[in-house]
Amino acid sequence: MNRALRRISIAVLVMFVLLIINVNYLQGFDTASLASKPGNSRAFYAAQNQYQRGSIVTSDGKVIAASRLSSGNDSIKYQRYYPSGPEYAPVTGYYTIFGATGIEAAENSLLSGNDSSLDVRKVIDLITGKTTRGATVQVTVNSRAQDAAWNALKALGKPGAVVALNPKTGAILAMASYPSFDPNVLAIHDGAKLNKVDNKLLKDKTQPLVNRALDGAYPPGSTFKIVTSSALLTQSPSTTINTSVDSPTTLTLPQTQHVLHNDQGEPCGDGSGQAPLITAFAQSCDTTFGKIGIQVGANALNDMAEQFGMNDANLTVPLPVAKSNYVIPASQALTAFSAIGQFSDTVTPLQEAMFSAGIANNGTLMMLAVVQQPEGTAYAFRQAVTGVEIAGKTGTAETGQVSLNDAAFTCFAPFANPDIAVGVIIQGGGYGASAAAPIAVQVIKAYQQAMGNQ
């Protein structure tokens, strides 16, 4: 009996000691982490009453999120506001009494003033009598490029997204999603009203809370031919962009009765059954790239897709990003479909921009042909930005109904010295050249003007 009691007493003592250690650790060493956790409403109330949360600004100094004194009888001193609301919502996210998203969440420790890197500044503020404030966070987004992306999406009126990158650094220059939401309607301090607004947004069939730029996953269509052609050129070093490749008008897929056609049954090149690789790429011949897919094999396509950034479940910018998927097909016939972006391949608009950023860093004439050669699917935009050569690839992801096909476009510019890569996906946009490419061109034009290149 005494032995049993002794064991119980020891166990209780050990648990008590562990509890004391845990409480002391939390209070002494982990306070900053606890205070900056999204969803900590007590920390929210304390922070908003104590000092101003830091602002979020663009690379060119435009304020896109800030805190100001609350109005009326609000018991909380400061209130968050978003001057450009829906346009920058995919970037800023929101900051509420119940949680945060976007940069508000990713950089919460800095914005809230709880990051350890701010300790020295806090001491200086205390000594000098200055009011302590959260740190200002500057994002890499350029306001001119962002305006162009948002306005073009809004004018088109179809669900979609745009991402623009600096191909040399990977910095995001624009990130717009449509339809969007106004984070100001969530930056309120009445919990009941906030729940009502939040539920309304969650039930909205247009899904305005979804950041399509990072979280939307769509078939890439013919933009995946960038991956397929890269796999061929890597696997066969003797092949060049001018090498003739099999380009039949129709392609019967192995072990099936299915026949693959080009768009509207058109022949590839001169219709001889052979075409230079650059011509097949510019014309976006499905039969050519379906056959290349069979030739190089699914594993090679998968390896190249991953080199471009697909299948990465841990990608962050620093916001979390949905994985762009390449699923290895079970047959040669399905491999042919995957090679033209029509099997189970899915990409985010960010991934579309990454396709072009990857090419821009290594340089290729093939994407230039899509825009600059008469047979290219985006030839209409060859002079869209004065003095700037654009290299790109259109894509149309077939859904079974032409009016519901998704439109995609990926490009970079200027060709000789790229400083911007753009990815656009429009749900139900139809052809990439008609719906997605004009938006990308507007973003490029706005950015070149902002950089003084126009």
- Give the integer Cα–Cα distance in Å for 115 and 443: 35
Gap between the Cα atoms of 153 and 391, Å rounded: 21
Tokens standing for residue 73: 């009888």
118: left (phi over 0), alpha (psi -120 to 50) or beta: alpha
E runs forming strands in 371-429: 391-397, 406-413, 420-426
- Other C-beta atoms closer than 10 Å to the C-beta of 197 total 17
Measured CA to CA, the distance from residue 177 to residue 423 in angstroms comes to 12
Helix, strand or coil, per DSSP, at residue 187: coil
286-296 and 298-307 are packed helices; what angle lies between their axes, rounded to 10 degrees? 100
By annotation, the residues acting in catalysis are 222
DSSP letter at 249 equals: S
DSSP category for residue 172: E
Question: Are 350 and 212 contacting, i.e. CB atoms less than 8 angstroms apart?
Answer: no
DSSP line for 261-319: E-GGGPPSTTSSSEEEHHHHHHHT-HHHHHHHHHHH-HHHHHHHHHHTTTT-TT-BSSS
Which neighbouring-strand residues pair with 65? 56
**Which residues fall within 8 angstroms of residue 213, CB to CB, at 6 or more apart?**
90, 161, 162, 163, 175, 176, 177, 348, 349, 350
CA distance 409 to 443: 12
Alpha-carbon torsion (431, 158, 172, 198), positive or negative? negative
- Cβ pair 187, 79 in contact under 8 A: yes
Alpha helices in 157-211 (DSSP H): 191-203
Integer Cα distance of 146 and 443 in angstroms: 8
